[in-house]
Amino acid sequence: MTDTATNLEIYKLLVEDVREARRARRELSNVFMTLNIAGISALGFLASAEGLPNPVLFTLCTIALALTCAIWRTSNSYYTVLLAAKYKNIYAIEDDLGVHPIRDEWQSITGKRRTMKWWSLERAMPVLFIIGYAMFFAVHVGGWDVAGSLNALVDGAAGALRSAGAPI
């Protein structure tokens, strides 16, 4: 059993370690966001009339950007697991100290957001970029008729509303 002063010093170190891990995750997300925004610009250039009309190059760039998003998502998951382990240690020391400031703060914040635990912007961004790349690819390489698809979707929704008796 360690004394209170030692526990308090360990607690301070763990809290600082969590702060550093969160900062590293945020910086890594900023790098991936910047890379994907630059990737969108590159795909836009490749798809333009002034760009290189090379579907193979466009396809390779799209695949590379989608893989980058998969790595981004994996990194987010790694930091989530890492921070959970760090908080578990902090909570154990809080139990030894007899006060729970970080746990109490977290519970007051997450009490209202419990259902949103698995959906956050940080987790969604890589997936949204992949969906965007897939749609961009489908339009520019696959020849997907977006306007026709959207019109069919609107017509289908309007038909469903009419059959349900809604005035349109």
Residue range 33-59, pLDDT digits in tens: 999 999 999 998 888 877 777 788 888
Please give the share of the chain, as a percent, with pLDDT higher than 90.
46
Q: Is the predicted pLDDT of residue 85 greater than 70, yes or no?
A: yes
Residue 114's pLDDT band, with cuts at 50, 70 and 90, is low
**Residue 16 pLDDT more than 90?**
yes
CA–CA separation, 57 vs 65, rounded Å?
A: 12
Determine the straight-line distance between the first and last CA of the chain, rounded to whole angstroms: 73
- pLDDT at position 3 over 90: no
Q: Measured at the alpha carbon of residue 70, what is the angle toward residues 66 and 74, in degrees to the nearest 5?
A: 165
Q: How far apart are CA 25 and CA 73, in angstroms?
A: 11
Do residues 14 and 89 touch, judged by C-beta distance below 8 A? yes
Please indicate whether residue 79 or residue 49 has the higher confidence score (pLDDT): 79
